[in-house]
Amino acid sequence: MHLATLFTLPLLAAAVPTAPHLVQGQQGQVVFSGAGAGAAGSASSGIKIDLDLDDLRLVQFGEREPPVWITELEKIEAKAKGRRFMDITETPTLGLTSFLTPASAKYTYPKPGKYAKEVKEIYKSLSVEHMKTFLKKFSGFKTRYYRSDTGRESQLFLLGTLREIARNYPEVTIKEFEHPWAQNSIIVRFPHSGPKDAPVVVVGAHQDSTNMWPFLPAPGADDDGSGTTSSLEAFRALIGANFTAPFPVEFHWYSAEEGGLLGSQAIAKSYEEKGIKVRAMLQMDMTAWVKEGTTESVGVIQDFVDPALTEFNWGLVEAYLDIPPVKTQCGYACSDHASFSKAGYQSSFAIESRFEDSNKNIHSTSDTIDHPEFSFTHMREFSKLAIAFAYELSIAKSDK
């Protein structure tokens, strides 16, 4: 890997910070120009980020590719170029335990649709107005970049919202999962009636956002404000139903997905180390966009996921949602489910559409709610998916 040779980046810490603009270089290369932010830099927009561009990071670009040491700056360049990766600097041994001692059997999943009455009762309290109110504020932070001041502020706003929603249900725990950077991940957990070590059902989304150049504003309304909001509204509805089940249900809001799945890897690693069993994990990353001229549907990702769980999700969409599922792919390490897969857990991923029809405004200042194709009712379908997923997998007996 000689990424440095692929790009030209005039980055002078002493230069006056001006807004960089991306230009298309020769052979489709992405070139930053006019950037002037260095370590712990602050762009003219007033965004404060604690990031050392010279910091060396261990990064993996493919399942069978050996990890390589590159700088933070080279990592940003690779991302700008559309390359997908996991930054494994802090979690180089993620998945080692399951690799050395593979589980004797995988979880199998029930036939979806058995709890139509109960699940649809919970759907009644889903509110597009709640979702709008939350996401307007959440996408109003200048950036939710995981190493930024406002990334921490947006996380505290999410935390406060969760505490407010669950204020009359104290058995639900709401915890920050701390990281070495400013923005913590958040884990909420419903009480369960089964054995103490009953396997967990996890619904995930990532709370952080980024601009292609992290020192610039990043509203991140769709990526992944939408998934964060879809799961938040599912959580609200389950709280309203005083939900509890034999298996524990957790909602995770990861920090630093945009840094190379850093937050979810740290959590998956901690679960692996503690021997926490995970029955199933569903990631929702981008749930709002319905491209003009396409049929509104749920993209069920088929690559780098658990096939049985993916088939189960397909059935959930057919049984519970108002729109059909559609098969699609997104490549290596395209969202936080990959961290759980790597840890040896069965994980899955649902996205707003076929991957090729998804929102092209992400990682820019244009990723806002102000587009005709940005749909809150589409986001609500994903809240329904999350509720059905949580309900069926925590109520139904495990076949493992």
Ligand X SMILES: *[C@@H]1O[C@H](CO)[C@@H](O)[C@H](O)[C@H]1NC(C)=O
Q: Closer to ligand X at the Cβ: 127 or 329? A: 127
Taking CB atoms, the residue at the shortest distance from ligand X is 242
Instruction: Tell me how far, at minimum, the Cβ of 221 lies from ligand X, in Å.
Output: 31
Characterize the bridge pairing of strands 249-254 and 200-206. parallel
- Enumerate the β-bridge partners of residue 217: none
Burial of 12 (0-12, 13-18, 19+ CB in 10 A): exposed
CB 97 within 8 A of CB 272: yes
Q: Which of residues 4-33 bind ligand X (CB under 6 A)?
A: none
Q: Closer to ligand X at the Cβ: 237 or 379? A: 237
Instruction: Tell me how far, at minimum, the Cβ of 169 lies from ligand X, in Å.
Output: 7
Instruction: Tell me how far, at minimum, the Cβ of 121 lies from ligand X, in Å.
Output: 9
* Cis status, amide bond into 306, omega within 30 of 0: no
End-to-end CA distance of the chain: 42
Instruction: Tell me how far, at minimum, the Cβ of 253 lies from ligand X, in Å.
Output: 24
Q: Closer to ligand X at the Cβ: 118 or 176? A: 118
Q: Closer to ligand X at the Cβ: 173 or 242? A: 242
Site string for ligand X, 240-269 (x = CB under 6 A): -xx---------------------------
Q: Closer to ligand X at the Cβ: 43 or 188? A: 188
Q: Closer to ligand X at the Cβ: 242 or 270? A: 242
Q: Closer to ligand X at the Cβ: 169 or 355? A: 169
Q: Closer to ligand X at the Cβ: 256 or 395? A: 395
Site string for ligand X, 47-86 (x = CB under 6 A): ----------------------------------------
Site string for ligand X, 340-379 (x = CB under 6 A): ----------------------------------------
Sign of CA dihedral 220, 221, 223, 226: positive
Q: Closer to ligand X at the Cβ: 171 or 273? A: 171
Instruction: Tell me how far, at minimum, the Cβ of 190 lies from ligand X, in Å.
Output: 13
Q: Closer to ligand X at the Cβ: 30 or 238? A: 238
Instruction: Tell me how far, at minimum, the Cβ of 241 lies from ligand X, in Å.
Output: 5
Instruction: Tell me how far, at minimum, the Cβ of 168 lies from ligand X, in Å.
Output: 6
H/E/C letters for each residue in the chain?
Answer: CCHHHHCCCCCCCCCCCCCCEEEECHHHCEEEECCCCCCCCECCCCCEECCCCCCEEEEECCCCCCCEEEEHHHHHHHHHCCCCCEECCCCCCCCHHHHHCCCCCCCCCCCCCCCHHHHHHHHCCCCHHHHHHHHHHHCCCCECCCCEHHHHHHHHHHHHHHHHHCCCCCCCEEEEECCCCCCCEEEEECCECCCCCCCEEEEEEECCCCCCCCCCCECCHHHHHHHHHHHHHHHHHHHHCCCCECCCEEEEEECCHHHCCHHHHHHHHHHHHHCCCEEEEEEECCCCECCCCCCCCEEEECCCCCHHHHHHHHHHHHHHCCCCEEEECCCCCCCCHHHHHHCCCCEEEEECCCHHHCCCCCCCCCCCCCCCCECHHHHHHHHHHHHHHHHHHHHCCCCC
Q: Does 120 bind ligand X (CB under 6 A)?
A: no
Instruction: Tell me how far, at minimum, the Cβ of 127 lies from ligand X, in Å.
Output: 15
Instruction: Tell me how far, at minimum, the Cβ of 164 lies from ligand X, in Å.
Output: 16
- Tell me the site size for ligand X, rule CB under 6 A: 3
Instruction: Tell me how far, at minimum, the Cβ of 242 lies from ligand X, in Å.
Output: 4
Residues that bind ligand X (CB under 6 A): 168, 241-242
